[in-house]
Amino acid sequence: MTRTATMHRATAETDIAVEVNLDGTGRADVATGIGFFDHMLDAFARHGRIDLAVRVAGDLQVDGHHSVEDAGIVIGQALGAALGDKAGITRFGSAFVPMDEALVLAALDISGRGQLHWAVEVPFGMVGDFDTQLAREFFIALAANAGITLHMRQLAGDNVHHILEAAFKACGRGQRAAVAIDGALAGEVPSTKGTL
């Protein structure tokens, strides 16, 4: 069984191509035009143990909003497509990730009902060339388009770089647990409804 997907989305604001392999080794090949965002997607892939290739050509002369949000859309679509009918997956996953003084929890359910519940206090500002407000926009788009119920909770933290990095790593690790194949399910969809 190959759990891979390739997605492409072009609008008047962005042109984005994504390749994902859920059973990869954590290899990331990312170029969004936003250095800190590249760093976060690399952390997401490495800790999620997915292979992720992302190419974004966006209207960065405006700002990074369209590039980051639309990347979340396309990555989410690719994750959803790679999961297929979700047969045999563990479905639920969570991870606490400490990053120095920061501590963030990500808990997710591959439910088919995409939604984000965000309790992460990210001060407004810039980390390198990344607008800190865009982290939430990315996770909203990712959850909605992948069909994931995603809870993100900050338990500690002052340094915004540490908080955001802990969030991306926690999401990756939680997702890694949720997409894992559960041999005890014998290929069944983990839902009383019979579908996700």
Question: How far apart, in Å, are the Cα atoms of 114 and each of 58, 125, 146, 149, 155?
Answer: 25, 28, 7, 5, 23
Fold annotation for 4-185:
Ribosomal Protein S5; domain 2 (3.30.230)
**Distance between CA atoms of residues 143 and 137, nearest Å:** 10
Mean pLDDT of the chain: 96
Per-residue pLDDT of 74-89, as tens digits, reads 999 999 999 999 999 9
Average the pLDDT over 116-143 and give the result: 97
Q: Are 2 and 51 in contact (CB under 8 A)?
A: no
Q: Among 54, 44, 177, 46, which Cα is nearest to 110's? A: 177
**Distance between CA atoms of residues 191 and 70, nearest Å:** 30
Neighbours of 184 (CB within 10 A): 9
Reported in sequence order, the residue ranges of the chain that DSSP labels E, i.e. its strands, are: 4-10, 14-21, 28-31, 51-58, 92-99, 102-109, 115-119, 126-127, 130-131, 149-156
CB contact set of 1 (below 8 Å; sequence gap of 6+): none
| Per-residue pLDDT at 196 exceeds 90 | no
| Per-residue pLDDT at 98 exceeds 90 | yes
What's the confidence (pLDDT) of residue 185?
A: 87
What's the confidence (pLDDT) of residue 186?
A: 81
Average the pLDDT over 86-105 and give the result: 97
Q: State the pLDDT confidence band at 28, using cuts at 50, 70 and 90.
A: very high
For residue 31, the SS3 value is strand
Q: Are 91 and 157 in contact (CB under 8 A)?
A: no
| Per-residue pLDDT at 116 exceeds 80 | yes
**Distance between CA atoms of residues 112 and 122, nearest Å:** 28
What's the confidence (pLDDT) of residue 187?
A: 85
HSE of 192, CA atoms in CB hemisphere, 13 A: 0
What's the confidence (pLDDT) of residue 133?
A: 97
**Distance between CA atoms of residues 93 and 109, nearest Å:** 7
Per-residue pLDDT of 135-192, as tens digits, reads 999 999 999 999 999 999 999 999 999 999 999 999 999 999 999 999 898 888 888 8
% of the chain with per-residue pLDDT over 70: 99
Q: State the pLDDT confidence band at 13, using cuts at 50, 70 and 90.
A: very high
What's the confidence (pLDDT) of residue 165?
A: 98
HSE of 76, CA atoms in CB hemisphere, 13 A: 27
SS (H, E, C) 120-174: CCCCCCEECCEECCHHHHHHHHHHHHHCCEEEEEEEECCCHHHHHHHHHHHHHHH
| Per-residue pLDDT at 195 exceeds 90 | no
Per-residue pLDDT of 54-76, as tens digits, reads 999 999 999 999 999 999 999 99
Q: Among 42, 47, 52, which Cα is nearest to 76's? A: 52
